[in-house]
Amino acid sequence: MDNIHVIDYTVMSVYILGIFILAFYSGKAKHGANLIQDQYLAGKSLTLMESLCSIIATEVSALTFLGIPAYAYGGDYSFIQIYMGALFGRIIIAFIMLPKIYDQGLTVYTVMAKLGGEQGQKAIALFYSLNKFLAVGVRLFAGSIIISEFFDTSIYMAVAIICIMTFFYTLIGGLKAVVRTDMVQMVLFIVGGLTAHYLIPQVAGVSWTELMGVASSADKTSFISFANPLPFVIGVLGGILFDMATHGVDQDFVQRLTANRKMKDAQIAIISSTFVSIAVGLLFLGVGTLLWSYYQTNVHPGVANDKLFAYFITHHFPVGLKGLMVAGVLAATMSTLDSTINALSATFYNDIFKHKTKNIKQVQNFYKRDTLIITLILMLIAFIASNSEELLLFGLKITSWTAGSLLAVFFSVVIFRFAKLRTWNVVMAYIFGALGVYANTFLIEWDWNFNVYIGFSLGLLAIYITEKISSRNH
């Protein structure tokens, strides 16, 4: 692009070189004798700070970097309600769910199989993997949009560039490399958000306080209406169960806790991550607010809300900082992608294909193969999403469609202990849950925050019924 300077490319190049150097040195720390645990659980060596930063970096995708400002631009700060509810969800994860799974197996689905039987282990891992592929594949596409513009290339080439880089540094260093690069990437996208807060007022020629004041007077910074607090209550309640599903039963996040040196540190990390999440959420909501105030007195470029921040970066940010901001988007995308690749690889190895070998060479080959397959599937989904708005919307919402069912299986087997991990139980939990969410989305039309509650309740009911039927037959 004409408005991209060689300094911006230099900033991007330094960032890319840095993460590969970090991955290389992280990979050298592997012990070899315990390669499986090194690859998938970082040799149980994560510190509290590493777990905390990696949780935040995994949460933040390009949809956070570009989508949350778009949310605030078109609405208000009500998005933060979910993070507030997450605090209660993460307390439950820390003190009820984590003690059941910490040090009990390579993946959370292994723990479920230990307690409830191995028959349904492959089924629950497959359902989890399918959801993860779709959800992260479209996030990969979202992050590729600004990379495509920055390098003046096609969206397909941008997706391929991100996937190839992430594949190699994940392969080099395993989970340890993923976590360490996540720490760098977390700092980078936070710096990007803070930079936007400084530069938007500079471009506008108006102080930050004045821009925020204009937005506040238009009620753009509110997250609760005391005249009608029900939406706030629904949002907070939605965040509780949603977070229990995403952070308590999703291998992507669970491995950041179970790979910790001590369970106490993992508990502190998951609870304290809520407050960092709220701060990051407010940071990027603030970016959307500043953009809204700016465009009240300046000509709007005519792009969609979710592309507005990317447009502002490429057209108004100064040389060097423009490259830094694009690196921030790349960091957000790669930190989500690398976590997913490693989590799905662990699930492939341990739950779907159930490899038993301890041979180091074979383990390395399995890891390379699985990582390559996962990367290619994510790339394919991103390609499809770039040509289909319907699939994009589906991918963004799919977590709320399936999270309740996944949580129902976990609670019925691990917490309540009234069911076995049978394939039929898993299938019925997902069918009942999906039907309930479908009814809510297209028939009842309650708030989407109820999706996880409906899926969880109907999933538990389905498992209870199938268990009763099974016991009668035996």
pLDDT digits (tens, 9 = 90+) for 108-129: 999 999 988 888 999 999 999 9
With vertex at residue 42, the alpha carbon angle to CA 38 and CA 47, rounded to the nearest 5 degrees, is: 150
Q: Which is more confident, 262 or 6?
A: 262
For residues 303 and 409, membership in a common domain is answered with no
Give the chain's length.
Answer: 474
pLDDT at res. 330: 84
Domain boundary among 342, 360, 387: 387
pLDDT at res. 474: 62
Long-range contacts of 346-349 (CB under 8 A, 24+ apart): 346/39, 346/40, 346/41, 346/106, 346/107, 346/251, 346/255, 347/107, 347/109, 347/125, 347/128, 347/129, 347/251, 348/129, 348/373, 348/374, 349/36, 349/40, 349/106
**pLDDT above 90 for 51:** yes
268-297 pLDDT, tens digit per residue, is: 999 999 999 999 999 999 999 999 999 999
Q: What is the largest CA-CA distance in the chain?
A: 76
Domain boundary among 355, 387, 419: 387
For residues 158 and 14, membership in a common domain is answered with yes
**Single pTM value for the model:** 0.90
Q: How far apart are CA 409 and CA 176, in angstroms?
A: 29
pLDDT at res. 95: 97
Is residue 411 assigned to a domain? yes
Q: Name the 3-class secondary structure at 60.
A: coil
Is residue 253 assigned to a domain? yes
For residues 50 and 120, membership in a common domain is answered with yes
pLDDT at res. 30: 54
Nearest Cα to 464, choosing from 435, 436, 434, 422? 422
Domain boundary among 352, 387, 422: 387
For residues 446 and 333, membership in a common domain is answered with no
Q: What is the dihedral of CA 402, 406, 412, 414, to 10 degrees?
A: -160
Q: Which of 21-25, 60-64, 218-222, 333-337 has the highest mean pLDDT?
A: 218-222
Counting the structural domains of the chain, the total is: 2
Q: How far apart are CA 420 and CA 413, in angstroms?
A: 6
Q: Which domain holds residue 436?
A: 396-474
Check if the beta carbon of residue 125 is closer than 8 Å to that of residue 351. yes
Range of weakest confidence among 308-312, 358-362, 374-378: 358-362
Position 213, amino acid: G
pLDDT at res. 2: 53
pLDDT at res. 29: 56
**pLDDT above 70 for 151:** yes
Phi-psi region of 222 (alpha: psi -120 to 50; beta: other; left: phi over 0): beta
For residues 72 and 187, membership in a common domain is answered with yes
Check if the beta carbon of residue 412 is closer than 8 Å to that of residue 419. yes
Burial letters 66-83, b for 16+ CB under 10 A, else e: bbbbbbbbeebbbbbbbb
Residues 35-44, mean pLDDT to the nearest whole number: 79
Residue 33: pLDDT band (50, 70, 90) is very low
For residues 362 and 416, membership in a common domain is answered with no
pLDDT at res. 207: 96
pLDDT at res. 289: 97
pLDDT at res. 390: 53
Q: How far apart are CA 284 and CA 280, in angstroms?
A: 6
Position 343, amino acid: A
For residues 132 and 61, membership in a common domain is answered with yes
For residues 86 and 222, membership in a common domain is answered with yes
Is residue 311 assigned to a domain? yes
- Using the Cα atoms of residue 363, residue 367, residue 369 and residue 370 in order, give the sign of their dihedral: positive
pLDDT at res. 134: 87
For residues 383 and 414, membership in a common domain is answered with no
Is residue 1 assigned to a domain? no
For residues 148 and 216, membership in a common domain is answered with yes
Is residue 463 assigned to a domain? yes
pLDDT at res. 3: 60
**pLDDT above 80 for 238:** yes
CB within 8 Å of 427: residues ≥ 6 apart: 123
Q: Is 27 exposed, middle or buried (0-12, 13-18, 19+ CB in 10 A)?
A: middle
Check if the beta carbon of residue 242 is closer than 8 Å to that of residue 82. yes
Residue 28: pLDDT band (50, 70, 90) is low
- How much is the mean pLDDT over the chain? 88
pLDDT at res. 170: 81
Range of weakest confidence among 86-90, 102-106, 138-142, 232-236: 138-142
Output the domain CATH number for residue 101. 1.20.1730.10
Q: What token pair was written down for 380?
A: 């394919």
For residues 410 and 459, membership in a common domain is answered with yes
For residues 353 and 443, membership in a common domain is answered with no
